[in-house]
Amino acid sequence: MLDLNDIAMFVQVVRCGSFAEAARRLGMPPNTLSRRIQQLEAHLGTRLLQRSTRKLTLTSAGQGFHERCVGAVDGLLEAGQALVTGSNEPSGLVRVAAPADFFDFFQMEWVSGFLAAHPRVRLDFVLSDAKADLIAEQIDVAFRGGPLRDSGFVGRQILDPRSVGMVASPAYIAARGTPRTLQDLTDHDCVISAQPGGHATWRLVGPEGEEEVQVAGRFSGNTAQALRKAAVAGLGIALLPPVMARLEVETGALIPVLPQYQPKGYGLNVLYPSRRQLPPAVSAFIGLVIQKMNTADSPQVPQ
């Protein structure tokens, strides 16, 4: 029979990223912890971790085992903590991975209110347009744009991709004219995500269904913020994430271009390792985001 303590130790090693740190948190010698994980691997008949002098890496079997176990282990720990505190009050650290521009549309006041309502919760935001490794970076919940391709994780859409879509500054339109068809974009400057050769493919949904167009321009960048600022500055037509485009159009800094076309796969999604025994603090934070992004006061995507 599997020793549940060994499984809990394995989850802690993965969370900490090293035997030394996990052993420190568990209050045991690192060699004892290593031996217990080896016993677990022997019992399962497979290697869970690849060990090197620089870092630990989950094997494919280890990742699958971790995904199946982490929710249950965290649930047991939360249950024990609830008995100690006498409540199911959310507590502990929640690490959140989100796009670099997350706080351009998610108000800091919402975070302040959440922390005031849950005084035993701490939030740690990892903001980057690069996709975080939920296991390696010990991420509890991630927010990502576009279609979800990660296997083994739970994902749900909290903003659909219907949006203003393509936008440009009033100054650019006044100088270069308004595109009338999708193919007209080939004669315009577009601000695009960094691509070798200065070209990009935009995939859109229009009156005839899915279409794509090759666009180019003299400005490219690797963050949505850079593209937004370039478009506002009149450097070209941009295809922005839904909330960002909506906010800029409302302020008049940008105007819609070819509004009959909407971006494909630009929705905002929430991703987390397991739906089983989701820690109350993580569940509460996900609930906050869903609530705020779907209220009349929040910058919703147009329907």
Most confident among 38-42, 89-93, 245-249 (mean pLDDT): 38-42
Residue range 45-99, pLDDT digits in tens? 899 988 776 677 888 888 888 888 887 777 766 666 655 554 567 888 899 998 8
pLDDT at 265: 58
Classify 4-85 by CATH class.
Answer: mainly alpha
Residue with tokens 């999604």: 269
The Cα 181–Cα 241 span in angstroms is: 21
Residue range 167-209, pLDDT digits in tens? 999 999 999 999 999 999 999 999 998 777 778 899 888 888 8
| 148 pLDDT above the threshold of 80 | no
User: What CATH architecture applies to the domain 166-263?
Assistant: 3-Layer(aba) Sandwich (3.40)
Within the chain, all domains assigned CATH 1.10.10.10 are found at: 4-85
Within the chain, all domains assigned CATH 3.40.190.290 are found at: 166-263
CB 257 within 8 A of CB 70: no
The Cα 175–Cα 126 span in angstroms is: 40
Classify 92-160+267-292 by CATH class.
Answer: alpha beta
Within the chain, all domains assigned CATH 3.40.190.10 are found at: 92-160+267-292
The Cα 257–Cα 253 span in angstroms is: 13
pLDDT at 173: 96
pLDDT at 68: 82
- Between 294 and 92, name the one with better pLDDT: 92
pLDDT at 154: 65
Write 13-21 long-range contacts (CB < 8 A, 24+): 13/37, 13/49, 13/56, 14/49, 14/56, 14/58, 14/62, 14/66, 14/70, 14/135, 15/138, 16/138, 17/55, 17/56, 17/136, 17/138, 18/55, 18/56, 19/56
